[in-house]
Amino acid sequence: MVVMTLLKKRMEYSLDQKNVILAISLSTAIIVLWSLFMVPNQPTKEQILADKDKIENAETPKIETTEIVKEISRDQALEESERILFENENIKGSISLMGGQIDDLEFRKFKETQDGEKNVILLNPRKNKNGYYVETGWAISNKNIEVPNSKSVWTTEGNKKLTPNTPIKLVWVNDQNIKFEKEISIDDKYLFTVKQTIKNKNEKIYNFYPYGQIIRNEIPEITNFFILHEGPLGVFTTPDGNTDLIEKDYDDIQDKSFSVNADAGFLGITDKFWITTLIPQENSKFKANFDFKNKFLTNFIETEATQVGANETKSNEIKILLAAKEVRVIDEYSEKLKIEKLDLIIDWGILYFLTRPMWSALDFFYQLLGNYGLAIIAVTICTRILLFPLAQLSFKSMSRMKLLTPQIQRIKDLHKNDKKQIQVEMMQLYRREKINPMSGCLPIIPMVFLFFCLYKVLFVTIDSRFKPFYGYLTDLSSRDPSSLFNLFGLINWTPPDFLLIGWLPLFFGFSMWAQQKLNPPPTDPIQQKIFAFFPLFLTVILAPFPSGLLLYWCTNNILQMGQQYLVLRMTEVKTT
């Protein structure tokens, strides 16, 4: 009986209160809920705890923590060591023969700015302040055996330039006559394959442990927006059979290192649009580490030794993915290399099951129409079609309630001193006309999720970067650059960010105002003022959002108003 009483009271809310709920739900959804839904998965306590099994007779390779980073330019740093150039259609750079490090890479098809000529640079030499580089090698517990390190100078055999058709070989020999080789190849996109070989030319047996590591001198310029992870990450299949994504911020690693034992997976450091990834040899067990010792270190070391007997040769293969986070390319590598969850290097968030299909829909229409803005409009139309039955039910209810406004007002006038009787009379009216006041709120929930999914896709994927629409909208991943406060460019003045309220936000606000005119008006004067303020409020709040998102919302509002207008014209309400 208590439950039934509560339900009855819930249904006895007035029309004005329903309008307030609807408005507050919409504004709260836009401003607040995205922060609740887009927080990335947090690892459990068991995932965070390092595996207690230790690697016998080996330790994770260390960087030179006492090395002083020189304040020299990138070009000067590149000139300090002899280099092997590499190049394909997508990337170019060089490999330092000192340490055999990949420490110079830039993307040929991606520019730093929309109209600029300078390529995006991913890797930098270690002696530069912004050093960011990758190295591979062998660790050994026997301190009397010399292994190549960051100061070892390698020599080349054969090809002097690395291309998809010409792999290179680097050679280094220690004082014990053990020969170390690196055969490095590159495909036509972003994948390096490093085949490390040890040739033992003496009569002793040694245990070596292959490793790979990514080193970054400093925290780069990051977005620092918590719906996007930037920093160390990895996907690890642990001995218990679970495969989990681990994400650590830079400040997390500065406070506490992280390590985990794994049977498979990958690890790396991610930026917003770029990724540096180490993929250990297939079917190998390894220990992964995220650490900070004057520099940020993401590395792995195999936990089972590669035993090299007398006059024996052994090899190990490590793959290095230095890529722009293009969804199609990452998917190709995931399938080709058979790497589980490789696509999670793109931060799809916990709504993966919605954000990924949203990207697929945008990509389909972009390939079909050739314009990302038109693709957003097409996706908006599809979502409206998908939600048509739900919206139709909602609009029918709201339009019929609008026609009931005079009767509702008459009830309030007759029983203005008896609120309980007003509620009773209104509930009887709703039952007689077969109207559910709460049905007007039904489309809000799916629209909130679709709104945030599109926002997530526009924010984290490189596909929308620098994608134009028409006219002055040259980048749908950034905010509308125009502003009412300089008369849209007529005045030679650049307003501060909080005054950048352009054509799209203004049109969005106008469409919100127009929508209000189709809805039942509140009878309470205070509520009328609140409702009148909402379009202006949302215009200011949404102005900094990506213009592609506002394009979606404006299109959605237009379609919604059209549907609502038709329903209002077609609806006949029995008022007797």
Q: CB neighbours of 173 closer than 8 A, spacing ≥ 6?
A: 179, 180
Q: How far apart are CA 557 and CA 553, in angstroms?
A: 6
Q: Is the CB of residue 41 less than 8 Å from the CB of residue 341? A: no
Three-state SS across 192-243? EEEEEEEEECCCCCEEEEEEEEEEECCCCCCCCCCCCCCEEEEEEECCCCCE
Which residues on neighbouring strands pair with residue 185, listed in sequence order?
193
Specify the pLDDT at position 521.
66
Mean pLDDT of the chain: 83
Specify the pLDDT at position 406.
75
Q: CB neighbours of 353 closer than 8 A, spacing ≥ 6?
A: none
Encoded tokens for 294: 């004057």
Angle at 355 between CA 351 and CA 356, to 5 degrees: 115
pLDDT band for position 398 (50/70/90)?
Answer: low
Q: Could you report the per-residue pLDDT of 452-464, keeping only the tens digit for each?
A: 898 899 899 998 8
Q: Could you report the per-residue pLDDT of 522-569, keeping only the tens digit for each?
A: 666 777 778 788 888 889 888 988 899 899 989 988 988 887 777 666
Max Cα-Cα span within the chain: 107
Specify the pLDDT at position 440.
59
Specify the pLDDT at position 563.
76
Q: Is the CB of residue 31 less than 8 Å from the CB of residue 541? A: yes
Specify the pLDDT at position 52.
35
Mean pLDDT value across residues 335-360: 94
Q: Is the CB of residue 213 less than 8 Å from the CB of residue 138? A: no
Mean pLDDT value across residues 197-203: 92
Q: Could you report the per-residue pLDDT of 42-54, keeping only the tens digit for each?
A: 444 344 333 333 3
**HSE value, Cβ hemisphere, 13 Å, CA-based, for 82:** 9
Residue 111 or residue 492, greater confidence: 111
Q: Are strands 191-200 and 178-186 parallel, antiparallel or unpaired?
A: antiparallel
Least confident span in 73-77, 526-530, 569-573: 569-573
Angle at 321 between CA 318 and CA 329, to 5 degrees: 130
Check whether 21 has a pLDDT greater than 60. Answer: no
Check whether 377 has a pLDDT greater than 80. Answer: yes
Residue 389 or residue 323, greater confidence: 323
